[in-house]
Structure formats: structure tokens, C-alpha cells
Structure 1
């Protein structure tokens, strides 16, 4: 093969993302405790634990997929960073928002850290749009 499938930047980030998926797997053990009633959570906290766990796994896998495509664009600078790493950062912000906004004994409503979910959603949309446009205009 003449050309590497991934740039060095994408390869390194992919390694980090694969290791991060192991943390999602171990987080699944906590989720088992939640859904079996052994974690002492409210129904609200159970819903947010499920949402946080699901978003973490799906967004990390999506971030891995994006790495293959960003190397096929002509993006540079901040645009390249946004397309390459934005989904990965959103994979931290969104689940973090679900988890941190629901922490605390007996919590029934999210605290102000729910803003992380919305910040992650904006970053996710911008990253995917940047990558999509980058692919459409690539030479």
C-alpha cells in the first residue's frame, strides 16, 4: 500500500479513542447496577445514566469513523481540527453533561451542568457540518 489509511494525527487520536471505549465498557458495569436497582438512583438519574452511557459509546465510534474521512479532505488549521477532533470532544461534553448534571443523592432534576450537553451538541453539529463540507469540496 503506497498511502497510509490514516494520517499520524488521526492514528494517534484513534488510539486514544479506542482506549476511551474501554472506559465506556467499564461504565457499563455501573449501568448494570443502576438498572438492577443496586445503585440507589432516582428514575431521573437512571434515565440520565442511560443517556450518558449511550451518547459516550455512539459518539466515540462516530469520532473514529470521522478520522478516516477527515484525511480525505483539504481542510487545514482550525477547520481541520474541528473536523478531526470536534466529535471526540463532543463525546466528552455530552455524556459529561448527563452524568454531572444528575449527580447527588436523590436528585430529580438536572443541575446547571446540563449546559455541557447543549455545548456538546453544538460542537457535534459544527464538526459534522465542517467534515461534510470539507468532503464535498475536496479536490
Structure 2
């Protein structure tokens, strides 16, 4: 594995500790320890779930692309999955800040930016893996 992949993978694994802490926050929200309205509860759940799933997906995609010796451009595009793991949860959490929001604020567009980043990431990785497979055969 390249040094860059090792460093990124290590940093992402450390970020999982932050996601775990987010789980304790979500537990406090759902048990009434932290005041939140229904909109906030829904968005907090979605943000936490997306963070966990996308971090794992991002790690798997990055390792697959690296292991397959896929073209460099596909590795760069595959990082879009890890960017999505930041953007989407940030959109969910930050768009409902405040004491009693009735609707998400403009930061909800981070969710859509994350969705675009995820799409670019998985398509880039998929095409890169197919390309590496064809070159190896």
C-alpha cells in the first residue's frame, strides 16, 4: 500500500471514534437528555447513519482501488466516497441547528453535494476497477 493510502486509512479509522461519540449523542437525544424536536431527531439519525456507512464504504472502495492498481484518476475519484462521508452528515447535522427549527436551513445543500460526491466516487472507482481488470486479462 502506498504511504498516502496508509495515512488516509489510519485517519479515517480514527474518525470512527468520532462517529462512535456521535452515537452516544444520538442516544442522549432519543432518551430526552438533549432537547430536540422531531425534525432534529430525524436528521441526527440520518447524519449518524450516513457517517458510519459511508466511512466503511469509503475505506473498502479506497482499498479495492489501491489493491487492484487501478488507474490514478480512479483513485482520485474514489476519494469522493470519503468526501461524501463528511459532506452528507455535516448537511444533516448543521442544517437543523438551533433551539427549535421548523425546516432545514441552507446547509441542507451539503447533503446533495455529498450525494454528488458519492456518485462520482463509486462510478470512478467502478470504472477504474473494470479498467484494471481488463488491462490484467
One fold, TM greater than 0.5?
yes
Q: Aligned-residue CA RMSD in angstroms?
A: 1.1
Q: Kindly indicate whether the alpha-carbon contact (under 8 Å) linking 1:97 and 1:116 is maintained by their aligned counterparts in 2.
A: yes
Task: List structure 1 runs of 4+ shifted beyond 3 angstroms.
Answer: none
Q: Kindly indicate whether the alpha-carbon contact (under 8 Å) linking 2:89 and 2:111 is maintained by their aligned counterparts in 1.
A: yes
- Separation in structure 2 between the aligned mates of residue 134 and residue 93 of structure 1, nearest angstrom: 23
Tell me what 1:96 maps to: 90
- Separation in structure 2 between the aligned mates of residue 10 and residue 65 of structure 1, nearest angstrom: 12
Q: CA deviation at 1:67?
A: 1.7
Whether 1:75 aligns to 2:71 is yes
Tell me what 2:103 maps to: 109
The size of the alignment, in residue pairs, is 132
- Separation in structure 2 between the aligned mates of residue 80 and residue 27 of structure 1, nearest angstrom: 29
In the alignment, structure 2 segments of 5+ residues that lack a partner are: none
In the alignment, structure 1 segments of 5+ residues that lack a partner are: 1-5
